[in-house]
Homo-oligomer: A and B are copies of this chain.
Amino acid sequence: MTTGSADKSGKSPRGRAAAVGLSKNQVVAAAVAQIDEKGLAAFSLRELARSLGVSPAVIYWHVGGTKEDLFAEISASITGSLSGSLDAGMPWDARLRQVFRNYRTLVHRHPAVAPLLGAQMKSNGVANLDWVETILSALHDGGYRGDALRPAFNVLVGGLAGFVTMELAPPPVGKPDSAGKGWEDLFAERVAQIDPEVYPLTSAALPDITNRIFVLRWQNGADVSYGDSFELLLDLLIEGLKARAPAVSS
């Protein structure tokens, strides 16, 4: 296919092969698909080009700049669907809940891209301006203006987006130990060393706690529902902000 035109000379043929091939959007979409499939760490421009049946240089032609620019483009393309579709008639706290629930479900659709999206949200760039505006407008309606606006905004974005980023971070892959010991053994060893004199745990509490740690350890990265925890976090933050909202004078 690609090498269909046989060339008698030793020189390999160069130049354009097909009609008008790729578009920038196609490149970005293919990149997202590949990250979703193989993970962010395993993503490479060359393999992206390979999967598109194209030379690596093509990526650079369509997406000007470097790999990080591709990442920015990816973030923008995903978070672009975040704006709009919000009933402005709702009370401000309900609006905030919905904004961040939307954010979470959106990010959950591309778990491997989560770190990129987190960084994007933090940077408050142009791509997510709608999103930022929605949050700021809700906080404004809730009485958070002037100097009070900024900490409230940071708390919501940092806390909630940070939560989602951590929630979706892949568990470490590496070896548990230089020997053949697995996490279980190491954990058991560690628990055996717990000195009730040092740790302020009643002997009744200890088994419960260590058991809980076990559960925590093993359910992380699995299909544990962080959803309940997210809802609790949302509740604590928004109810708290509501409770201590500055009085609106004007």
Contact = CB atoms under 8 A, between A and B. Distances in A.
Interface of A: 64-66, 68-69, 72, 88, 118-126, 129, 132-133, 136-137, 140, 145-146, 149-155, 157-167, 169, 171-176, 178, 183, 186-187, 190, 194, 199-201, 204-205, 208-209, 212-213, 215-217, 220-221, 226, 228-229, 232-233, 235-237, 239-241, 250
29 contacts: A65-B178, A68-B172, A72-B174, A118-B166, A119-B169, A120-B172, A124-B217, A125-B217, A126-B176, A126-B190, A129-B187, A129-B213, A132-B213, A132-B216, A133-B194, A137-B201, A140-B201, A150-B212, A150-B216, A150-B229, A155-B163, A155-B232, A158-B163, A158-B167, A158-B226, A162-B165, A162-B166, A165-B166, A236-B237
Contacts of A212: 136, 149-150, 153
Contacts of A155: 163, 229, 232-233, 236
A151 B183 contact: no
CB-based closest 10 A-B pairs: A162-B162, A154-B229, A236-B240, A88-B200, A158-B163, A162-B166, A159-B159, A151-B229, A155-B233, A69-B174
